Structure 1
Amino acid sequence: MSRTVFYSTDYSLDTDYASLLIAPCSKSEVRSFTKVFLPVAYSLICIVGLVGNIFVVMTFALYERTKSMTDVYLLNMAIADILFVLTLPLWAVNYAADKWIFGSFVCKMARGIYAINFSCGMLLLAFISVDRYIAIVQATKSFKLRARTLAYSKLICLAVWASAILISSSSFLYSESYSFASNETKMICDHKFDRASDSIVLKSVLLCLQVGFGFFVPFVFMIFCYAFIVKSLQQAQNSKRNKAINVIVLIVAVFLVCQVPYNTVLLVAVANMGKTEKSCDSDNVMAYAKYTTETIAFLHCCLNPVLYAFIGVKFRSYFVKTMKNLWCRRYKKYNKRGSRTNSDTYSSRLTSEILTDNASSFTI
């Protein structure tokens, strides 16, 4: 008994379109665009995102002070972003070569790791919003609440990672490296289904899950928490109030600019699934829109270290202290006494600055 396998005539890093299973339009122009644009964009995002997030992980790992809940979330988000950007070189090669050359196992791992860490990063943004809400709006209760929840921080992060793995499990199950029916020499890495009905239903569910957990959940948490935070800050008599509000506005604005276009395209893709009457021009427009907005969404992993870590006074102090200690350690054998004296002096000054900090993540 023969088995009919349904293939896509175009492929992408995140998801394919069911319409491409029905209407085999020419994608030569789209592929010419992706062959140049995506390898360059992914390479730059990988380099910038890797450097910024490695600095975040290194600072939290080397600094021995007890971490707050936000610190724990930031550390996990940086790890998720690092794992995410490490998959981008594979896709850069994929688009540059216009075919998948790494085999089915690497295909499953690349798509699975990408999906897990993208979802994990978005969910952690929601928890960061909640922790900041507790720290600022519920200031009178925040000490006890955050001390209590800090003990469960690892369990919370473990639950986030488990949820992301569950949401992304289909990428491990259905991703394969296979060849086009019309071109047996060209391999692609994509979802592969045995029946057209399964293809449409499963892809619709996967896209809905991605939009739900990758956009709407963190967006709702951010809007709710940051709205109350801004209201609370407006009532506070603090010289740094306006700067803190500006930071919140910037965080929300960057999230919307990076995520709204991409998730809008995904929702349109869900609405168009199963439709048989579609022109090749509309398919090409959707392909251009998806690749462009997807790249913009990926920029968020480069901006996270700046928006959530380096913009804070405490983290900058930790980072400078870590860099200085590493530098002094490097030259310790040449000038032990001078290094120790300078380090002690700096540490004393830093401790004074940290103790006077109001522990707000929005301190500029």
Structure 2
Amino acid sequence: MDEIHVNLSDYLELLNTTNASDFDFDSDVCDPDEEEITIKIFQTCAFCLIFLLGVVGNCLVIATFALYRRQRLRSMTDVFLFHLAVADLLLLLTLPLQAVDTYQGWIFPVALCKVTRTSYAVNTYSGLLLLACISVDRYMVVARAQEMLRLRNEILTAGKVAAIVVWLVAGLLSLPEIVFSGVSGNDDQAYCGMQIKGRVKMATNGAIIGVFCLSFLIMVTCYSLIAQVLWEGSAHRRGKQWHRQRTLKLMVALVLVFLVFQLPYTVVLSRKIGGQFCGPLLEYITCTLAYTRCCLNPILYALVGVRFRTDVLKLIYDLGCPCGVYVSPQRASSSFISPSSPALTVLSACSPTAPERSYSSSETGPHTKFSFSGTK
């Protein structure tokens, strides 16, 4: 027994003196450095995908507007959607810089840092203000339809002026990014960000929160009034208005996407400017969501907007692609993209001279006619 007792004591002493690092399973299972590298690789790949999808989608929006919609505008919403696409495209063009920054830190000049930060700020401010303008226009179309129709030319001019004012306001609010953005840290850990403190920091936070709250209040008020107007009308009138305002779903979807994808990163940046640490993982996730929003808008247009799909197919045909869609010249002038009223569009595949088969669709409205050439 004595010999056994001695051996057991030696064994317990050996366990007590053993280096705990020899049994550190956590470091093998979840290495913080490996986790951070994995997150960086994922975000870099996500940025590349967002860049490709977003640039193609927003270029299609801008191209269809410039080629087909510009001469036949019917509402301010068309103007605002065009400027929203331009703002998203400008931000997306900085994504390659952001991808490199995510993977290996900031290696570019200070001027590009200022451009990147300013592009994000301008996109955020202009996006919020443009969505607020769209909600006001939607309300006016529903509640003051006759006046909007009678003063259409004046209202379109006012819409263009409002878009310019939005850009000016967004630029002024982004001045702190232009002045105070810079690169900090050494070559291995360089970081592009705001280098501010004191009153400037408070003013920047106030601008972000103020514009967000003001735009959100306008959007909620306008869409609530739209719902009230449509609900208080007679059943027949209400059904007609909902049919005319079916692209109202698109406007609401744009607002929801902006809030869901943009709000988290705006909160993180606001806390970061205020000196509060949110953690790199949270910043990576919310930043990816914010940039994802820029490529979702064209997808929403394609899913909800019949007229956008029509113009994209016509663009493909005009570029010489055999899978494109031909829009009859005599109908082209009647096919306009305006969220305020139905479109009259005639589509025929591949060739304008081929035999046509006509189909009607209740989803696209009574004034939409699709003609597909060829035989079964």
Task: Answer yes or no: is 1:289 the counterpart of 2:295.
Answer: no
Tell me the SS of whatever aligns to 1:237: helix
Greater gyration radius: 2
Counterpart-to-counterpart distance in 2, 1:309 and 1:165:
30
* Superposed counterparts of 1:230-241, under 5 Å: 230-234=227-231, 235=233, 236-238=238-240, 240=243
* Superposed counterparts of 1:295-306, under 5 Å: 295-306=288-299
The answer (yes or no) to whether the contact 2:254–2:297 under 8 Å persists in 1 is no
1:309-346 superposed Cα distances (whole Å, 9 cap, x missing partner): 76223333333333322327x99xxxxxxx9xx95x72
Aligned partner of 1:257 among 248, 257, 260: 260
Deviation at 1:274, TM superposition (A): 5.8
Counterpart-to-counterpart distance in 2, 1:139 and 1:73:
19
Aligned partner of 1:346 among 321, 328, 347: 328
Counterpart-to-counterpart distance in 1, 2:117 and 2:318:
39
1:27-65 superposed Cα distances (whole Å, 9 cap, x missing partner): 957843542232122222211111111000000111153
Q: What residue in structure 2 maps to residue 170 of structure 1? A: 176
Tell me the SS of whatever aligns to 1:190: strand
Deviation at 1:354, TM superposition (A): 5.3
Tell me the SS of whatever aligns to 2:94: helix
* Superposed counterparts of 1:331-342, under 5 Å: none
- Give the unaligned 5+ runs of structure 2: 1-31, 344-362, 366-376
Out of 349-358 and 246-255, give the one that drifted further: 349-358
1:307 and 1:113, CA in 2 relative to 1: closer, same or farther beyond 3 A?
Answer: same
Task: Answer yes or no: is 1:147 the counterpart of 2:121.
Answer: no
Out of 226-235 and 67-76, give the one that drifted further: 226-235
Counterpart-to-counterpart distance in 2, 1:135 and 1:33:
49
Q: What residue in structure 2 maps to residue 102 of structure 1? A: 108
Q: What residue in structure 1 maps to residue 319 of structure 2? A: 326
1:224 and 1:52, CA in 2 relative to 1: closer, same or farther beyond 3 A?
Answer: same
Deviation at 1:154, TM superposition (A): 2.8
Amino acid at match of 1:53: N
Q: What residue in structure 2 maps to residue 210 of structure 1? A: 208
Q: Sequence identity, in percent?
A: 36
Q: Specify which structure has the bigger relative contact order, considering alpha-carbon pairs within 8 angstroms and separated by 6 or more residues.
A: 1
Tell me the SS of whatever aligns to 1:176: strand
1:137 and 1:223, CA in 2 relative to 1: closer, same or farther beyond 3 A?
Answer: same
The answer (yes or no) to whether the contact 2:244–2:341 under 8 Å persists in 1 is no
1:122 and 1:245, CA in 2 relative to 1: closer, same or farther beyond 3 A?
Answer: closer
Aligned partner of 2:218 among 218, 221, 246: 221
Q: What residue in structure 2 maps to residue 187 of structure 1? A: 190
1:203 and 1:37, CA in 2 relative to 1: closer, same or farther beyond 3 A?
Answer: farther
The answer (yes or no) to whether the contact 2:141–2:340 under 8 Å persists in 1 is no
Q: TM-score, normalised by structure 1?
A: 0.72
Q: TM-score, normalised by structure 2?
A: 0.70
Counterpart-to-counterpart distance in 2, 1:261 and 1:355:
33
Counterpart-to-counterpart distance in 2, 1:219 and 1:309:
25
Q: What residue in structure 1 maps to residue 89 of structure 2? A: 82
The answer (yes or no) to whether the contact 2:148–2:155 under 8 Å persists in 1 is no
Counterpart-to-counterpart distance in 1, 2:259 and 2:117:
24
Counterpart-to-counterpart distance in 2, 1:251 and 1:147:
26
Counterpart-to-counterpart distance in 2, 1:357 and 1:188:
43
The answer (yes or no) to whether the contact 1:112–1:168 under 8 Å persists in 2 is yes
Q: What residue in structure 1 maps to residue 199 of structure 2? A: 201
1:166 and 1:353, CA in 2 relative to 1: closer, same or farther beyond 3 A?
Answer: closer
Counterpart-to-counterpart distance in 2, 1:212 and 1:29:
39
1:354 and 1:168, CA in 2 relative to 1: closer, same or farther beyond 3 A?
Answer: closer
Counterpart-to-counterpart distance in 2, 1:156 and 1:85:
24
- Give the unaligned 5+ runs of structure 1: 1-26, 194-198, 276-282, 332-338
1:229-256 superposed Cα distances (whole Å, 9 cap, x missing partner): 2233343123737955655554443333
The answer (yes or no) to whether the contact 2:173–2:207 under 8 Å persists in 1 is yes
Tell me the SS of whatever aligns to 1:359: coil
Amino acid at match of 1:201: R
